[in-house]
Structure 1
Amino acid sequence: MKILAEAAQETPVVTPEGAERRVLSYGPGLMLVEFTFKPGIVAPMHSHPHEQVGYIVSGALELTMDGHGTTRLGAGGSYYVPPGTMHGVTILEPTVLVDAFTPVRDDFLG
């Protein structure tokens, strides 16, 4: 459990695609995560058992999600990914986004 966090003070983990991931606050059932992307990064189509809500703080991306096609989202855009839904992103410009997951992504804590 992490009650308080400052994103700038959290040590990033570099994902296999090259994004920086910072786990922010989380409790037993909910987690907040910041991602920082460079243009051209592609997070390939994948699914997970977690509900996910995302908010684009800055930048732009294309979100592809089963049943919804591909949508361009910029700063201020948000999305919801139901559990088990295939989805992926292509980063169009330097981008910061914040995702909330429930339940907690234990794989992000290791």
Structure 2
Amino acid sequence: MIEGKRFFKEKDSNWEPAGEGITRQITGYNAQLMMVKVKFEKGAIGYLHEHFHSQASYVASGKFRVTIDGKEEILQKGDAFFVNPNLKHGAECMEAGILIDVFSPLREDFL
């Protein structure tokens, strides 16, 4: 059985590099679900990519230009987006911020 820690405390967890100007903390997971905090510096780009996971993302802070399957929206604190499996998507950070990403199933490539 794949399972991470039951409780997450930010002060006890390291940020790991996830691209230029991007870091992440894995907050918890099991085989079916994973939640990750992703911190972006202004101007950082989560380049267009696709994966077989479903993804829901919540904008905890900042402002982002998000592209999903060729459609673009500007999202800010309190907004969210959902990505079906295998759709090209990405985000450009317009104001430094944090996304809370949830994946199903877990992103084994993050472990």
Q: What is the TM-score of this pair, normalised by structure 1?
A: 0.93
Measure how far apart 1:18 and its partner are. 2.6
Aligned match of 1:83 = 85
Code of the residue aligned with 2:26 in structure 1: it is V
Which residue, out of 5, 14, 22, partners 2:8?
5
> Aligned partners of 1:78, 1:8: CA distance in 2, in Å?
25
Measure how far apart 1:71 and its partner are. 0.2
SS at 2:19 equivalent: coil
Code of the residue aligned with 2:20 in structure 1: it is E
Q: Deviations for 1:9-59, whole angstroms, at most 9, x for unmatched residues?
A: 211111123311100111121000000110000111100010000000111
Aligned match of 1:32 = 35
Aligned match of 2:57 = 54
Q: Which 4+ residue blocks in structure 1 deviate beyond 4 angstroms?
A: none
SS at 1:15 equivalent: strand
Code of the residue aligned with 2:84 in structure 1: it is P
Unaligned runs of 5+ in 1: none
SS at 1:34 equivalent: strand
Question: Contact 1:30/1:100 (CA < 8 Å) preserved in 2?
Answer: yes
Aligned match of 2:24 = 21
> Aligned partners of 2:83, 2:96: CA distance in 1, in Å?
22
Map 1:93-104 to 2 at 5 A. 93-104=95-106
Code of the residue aligned with 2:53 in structure 1: it is H
Q: Please report the RMSD computed on the Cα atoms of aligned residues, expressed in angstroms.
A: 1.0
Code of the residue aligned with 1:65 in structure 2: it is I
Unaligned runs of 5+ in 2: none
> Aligned partners of 2:45, 2:18: CA distance in 1, in Å?
11
Question: Contact 1:34/1:98 (CA < 8 Å) preserved in 2?
Answer: yes
> Aligned partners of 2:100, 2:31: CA distance in 1, in Å?
19
Provide the identity percentage: 31
